[in-house]
Each structure stands twice: as C-alpha cells, then as structure tokens.
C-alpha cells in the first residue's frame, strides 16, 4: 500500500463527540501511514483529539475557507467520511436549506473538473431531501463522485432515484460499528460504585425534523421518567454528545431537563472524548438517547437502548438493531404513558436485549471490516 495524501472533510471541531468519533474511526481504518489534511472549526481541539496518532494537518473550516482549493490540488484523494453529508437543512438550523448541498457541489466540482482528483464519500447519510431542487443537487454531486457508500436504506433509495450508477454505490452500516467494545473502554476503567437504583444514560438533541413538537416532547419525557421512577427507582447519567458551539446544545438541554425532574438524581457529565463517553455508558443499565452515535456505541457495549427517533438516520438504526418495538418517535403521539410502557418492557427483557443487540453489533463489525479492506485496496 502506497502512502497517500488525503484531504478528509467532515464536521469537526464543533465539540460533538459523534463527529470526532467518525474522524477517529476513518483515520484508524484508512491507516496511520498516510498524510491527512482535515478541516475543523477548532484547530487546536482537533489536533489534541487525534494529532499525536496520525500525520495530520488541519485548517479552519470557515476562517480559511478558500484554503480548501489549494488543499484539493495538493492531495491525492478527497474523502468525505460519514455523517449526513448530502442534506437539506432543517428550518430550526437558521440557514438556507440548500447551503450544505451547494457547498459540497462547489467542492466536488472543483476537485473533479480542475483538480482531476478521485472523490470518495464513505458511510454517509443522504437526506432529508424534500424538494426537487435538492434532488437535482444530489444528482449533480454524485455524478462527480467516484464512489459512495450509504448507511441506511432511505439514503440508498435516494441515490438510486437520482440515477447513481450501481457499480459505484454500496449500502453499508454506519462506520462506527467497525469497533469492538474495547475501543470505548479505558485500560484502567474507573471504579463503579454500587447502586440499588437503575442507572439510565440520557442524551437529548434539539435538531429534530419537527421542532414544534419539542416542548410537548420534553414535558412528556419528564413525566414518563417520573412514572417509571415511582415503580423502579432511577438514577440518570446525563450524556451530552455536544457540550458547546451552538445554542440549544445537548448540555444546555440536559441542564434544563434536570430542573423538570427534581425527584430523580441526575449526574451531569460533560464528556469530551470517546473514552469519556465510554466511562458513562459502562456504568449504565440502559440508554435513552436521540443521538445516533450514542445508540451505536451503547449497542457495541451491549447496553439496551431506547431510541428517541428524531430523524431518518435514527429511524433506520432502529431497524438495523431490531429494536422497532422500543423506538419512540418524537412527534405528536409521544406520551408519558408510551414512554413508561416501553421502558418497563425494556426493563423486563434486559438480558435478552443485551445479548441480541451485542450479537447484531458484532455481525455489523465483521461486515465493516470486510468493507474497509476493499476500500483500502481500491483507493489506497
């Protein structure tokens, strides 16, 4: 395998553990012999995260926006790794709905037409796409990409719908499934204090398809936790995946949620790394989460998950993990009673769920190991 210069693009440096986990995942799978240039919103943060493990250069995503053209020309391969790369933005984000698609189109057009570079989009999500113009932009982007793999069936259907050739399109699981449980655990794990209460890791994320449901959802979720707590005493381990950078980040949401259920003890964590997240997950009996990579990491560790389904990628994950009867949609139908019933059902099936979810994660790991081997052989 030759040494390549790889321009790796994604959403980094926004203090989102899921995004940093994807970066760490792809670099580990592509190999530490290559030279990487990575975009980030916080150069020092990204270098602290992975800079000592790889030959890594970073540049600021917005402050040095135009540097990307030079980086494209200097590198051998343009690689988009994971995440919802091709999407229209929700209104709650506060930006033009086509901003991401237009930016990606400009980048791949320059890379292919001017730079004559190979372009890979690996383990990405496509969507939400809700307009004909959005579909047109996706079609134009994928016509310029040499290879694309998508992590869910809906993304695959969208790619087929816009005419992506089958020989350059593949459906694979989310890249994080390539890891085994040891990846998330410290060699010297912190001691676990004994507790008579049920420990629940909780994650919240405001970026939902329909933000008009948020207030009623939070109110019903709090009431649902109270109903469970009356029967089965709980401790909640608040697990924010994003603890800064934007308004309504996970940490702010969890602090607010803490005030809604004073009768339940909440341990408020502020993890900064994958291992920090693993420290919390290993302590818990169950996970209640919106964030995709919270659910995936818990599944790998064999912790039963109650997914709070807020968009297409979590909706598809529920199917992949076989937990359709436990996923609860964040919509007008979400109720305290539904949460109570679902949580107690999960509690009663704990051992069965632990075995099944870990088995499914192990199967996906083998699939991804084979996938990354082929990807390395083809493009590196």
What the block records as the tokens of 149 is 């793999």
Parse the chain into domains and list their residue ranges. 5-178+364-379, 182-362
Q: Give me the pLDDT at residue 174, please.
A: 95
User: What CATH number labels 182-362?
Assistant: 3.40.50.2000
The torsion angles phi and psi of 115, rounded to 5 degrees, stand at -85, -20
> CA-to-CA distance for 277 and 269, rounded, in angstroms?
9
**CA-derived radius of gyration, the chain:** 21
pTM for the model: 0.93
Q: Give me the pLDDT at residue 313, please.
A: 86
The torsion angles phi and psi of 40, rounded to 5 degrees, stand at -160, 155
CATH topology of 5-178+364-379 equal to that of 182-362? Answer: yes
CA torsion sign for 90, 91, 96, 97 is positive
What the block records as the tokens of 222 is 């709090």
pLDDT along the chain (380 residues), means of 10: 90 92 96 95 92 91 90 97 88 79 96 97 92 96 97 93 96 96 83 81 86 92 98 97 89 96 95 93 95 96 95 89 94 95 96 94 96 95
The residue with tokens 């109650």 is 306
Q: Give me the pLDDT at residue 365, please.
A: 96
Architecture of domain 5-178+364-379: 3-Layer(aba) Sandwich (3.40)
């Amino acid at each position: 395998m030759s040494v390549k210069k790889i321009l790796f693009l994604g959403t980094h440096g926004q203090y989102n553990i899921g995004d940093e986990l994807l970066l760490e995942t792809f670099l580990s799978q592509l190999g530490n012999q290559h030279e990487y240039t990575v975009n980030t919103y916080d150069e020092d943060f990204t270098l602290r995260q992975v800079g000592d493990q790889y030959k890594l250069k970073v540049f600021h995503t917005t402050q040095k926006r135009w540097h990307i053209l030079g980086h494209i020309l200097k590198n051998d391969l343009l690689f988009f790794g994971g995440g919802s790369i091709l999407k229209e933005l929700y209104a709650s984000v506060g930006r033009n709905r086509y901003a991401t698609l237009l930016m990606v189109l400009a980048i791949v057009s320059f890379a292919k037409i001017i730079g004559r570079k190979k372009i890979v989009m690996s383990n990405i999500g496509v969507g939400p796409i809700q307009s004909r113009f959005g579909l047109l932009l996706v079609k134009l982007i994928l016509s310029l990409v040499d290879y694309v793999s998508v992590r869910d069936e809906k993304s695959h259907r969208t790619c087929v719908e816009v005419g992506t050739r089958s020989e350059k399109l593949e459906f694979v699981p989310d890249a994080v499934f390539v890891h085994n449980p040891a990846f998330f655990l410290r060699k010297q794990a912190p001691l676990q204090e004994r507790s008579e209460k049920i420990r629940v890791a909780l994650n919240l994320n405001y970026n939902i398809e329909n933000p008009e449901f948020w207030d009623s959802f939070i109110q019903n979720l709090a009431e649902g936790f109270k109903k469970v707590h009356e029967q089965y005493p709980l401790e909640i381990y608040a697990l924010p995946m994003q603890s800064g950078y934007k308004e309504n980040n996970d940490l702010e949401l969890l602090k607010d949620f803490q005030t809604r259920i004073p009768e339940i003890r909440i341990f408020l964590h502020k993890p900064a790394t994958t291992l920090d997240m693993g420290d919390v997950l290993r302590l818990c009996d169950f996970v209640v989460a919106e964030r995709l990579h919270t659910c995936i990491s818990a599944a790998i560790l064999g912790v039963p998950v109650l997914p709070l389904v807020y968009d297409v990628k979590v909706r598809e994950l529920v199917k992949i993990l076989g937990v359709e009867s436990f996923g609860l949609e964040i919509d007008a139908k979400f109720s305290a009673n539904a949460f109570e019933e679902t949580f107690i059902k999960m509690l009663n099936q704990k051992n069965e769920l632990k075995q099944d979810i870990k088995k499914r994660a192990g199967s996906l790991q083998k699939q991804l190991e084979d996938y990354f081997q082929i990807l390395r052989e083809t493009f590196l």
